Structure formats: C-alpha cells, structure tokens
Amino acid sequence: MKRLSVGLSILMLFLITPAVYAGAPLDAVKVNADKVLDILRDPKLKSASAKEIKKDKLRAIYVKMFDEVELSRRSLGMNWNKLNNIQRQEFVKLFQEVLEKAYADKILAYTNEKIEFTKESMVGTNLAEVRTNVVTASNEIPISYRVILKDGVWRVYDVVIENVSLVQNYRTQFNDILAKNTPEQLLEILRKKVKEQ
C-alpha cells in the first residue's frame, strides 16, 4: 500500500489535460503533460505564498484531464447502479475532492522527475492505453494512462502504477464500505473525509 501511495503521488505530478482535438492518445498525453510541468516548474510559483495559485491552476487541469463520471462509475463498479442520479452527482464531486486533497501537497513537492512516453495501444474503438516511465534519481516507475475518447476528446478514466489500478484500488475500498452501508452512508463517509482533510 505504501508503494501505491508513492506511485499515486508521482502520478499526480504528471497530470495531463486532454487535447482540444481528437489526435493520437499518446500525443494528447505527451503534449499536455508539458502544461502541468510548466506550472510545477514556474519560478513565479515557487514561493509558499503562491501555493494556492498553483493548486488552482492544477485543479483546472484536473477537471479537464479526467472523465470524472467515467472514473467514478468504474470506481464504484456494479455499486454505481445503487445510487440515484442526485447521489451519483454528489459522489462524483466528493470523489474528485478526496483525490485532490489526498495528493495536492505531494504534487507540489515535484523535484524535476522525468517522464518517458514508451507506447500507445488501442484497446477498443474509443479506448486506449498510454504507457510511460517516470524516472527519478534512483528508480523507474511504470505508469499507464487509460483514456477514453468522448466528444472528440481523449480523457483519462484510470491510471495504473506498477500494475496497480487506481480504479481497482478504490473499487475494493468502496465495495467494502457498501457491503455494510447504504449509498447515503457512503456519501456521508466521503463528506467527513473531505472535511477532515
């Protein structure tokens, strides 16, 4: 679990936005990863007082980067059908906040790691996987971005770090919660988590 946490922290360093056009998935990931790196490397945003500005810029990229509904739906799996439309909308919002709060400070701790783009594989008519390696001073960490093409834009719906899927990891946690609790109780657990963070 510790290794997954480290991997997810590194993943969040390399947030990507989808391309504004429907091009090759690898190109969309590669071109837009630079936008995040530009923010993290910007000398004007290095001071402690610029922390919130940097977070706001990264948050805007996250919203464009992920297909939040697809990520949420896949993270809940079959349990998605247990939530009504209002609960689903709240779950999507709360899940995004949980992810942001869990990784924001780790993202800001970026220290010039390098990302190498190694392969793109189409896994369906509108699904692809982009494989990368994050190279640190002492390690190479494989990270794959699973992307989906919707409305002409490639967006991330899952990230796999060292063969551990973000979606699968959260699905296991949510399945455990919903085995003993109602959807409303799950939402309450997430509301509390967001407040505590």
pTM: 0.81
Instruction: State yes or no: pLDDT of 23 exceeds 60.
Output: no
Quick one: pLDDT at residue 168? 96
- Both tokens of 8, joined, read 């997810």
- Phi, psi (5° rounding) for residue 137? -60, -30
- Phi, psi (5° rounding) for residue 164? -115, 120
Q: What is the mean pLDDT of the chain?
A: 84
Rounded CA-CA distance 69/67 in Å is 6
Instruction: State yes or no: pLDDT of 121 exceeds 50.
Output: yes
CA distance to 4, 17, 60, 162, 176, per residue, from 35 (Å): 25, 8, 11, 24, 37
Reported as a single tens digit per residue, the pLDDT across 171-183 is 999 999 999 999 9
The kind and range of the H/E element at 158 are: strand 153-161
Indicate the Cα dihedral angle 146, 99, 161, 7, nearest 10°: 150
CATH number at residue 16: 3.10.450.710
Instruction: State yes or no: pLDDT of 94 exceeds 90.
Output: yes
Work out the pLDDT band at 108, boundaries 50, 70, 90.
confident
Question: What end-to-end distance do the CA atoms of the chain give, in Å?
Answer: 19
| For residues 94-112, average pLDDT | 80
Number of domains in the chain: 1
Tell me which residue range forms the domain holding 137: 2-196
The kind and range of the H/E element at 37 are: helix 25-41
Reported as a single tens digit per residue, the pLDDT across 53-89 is 988 888 888 888 789 999 999 999 999 999 999 999 9
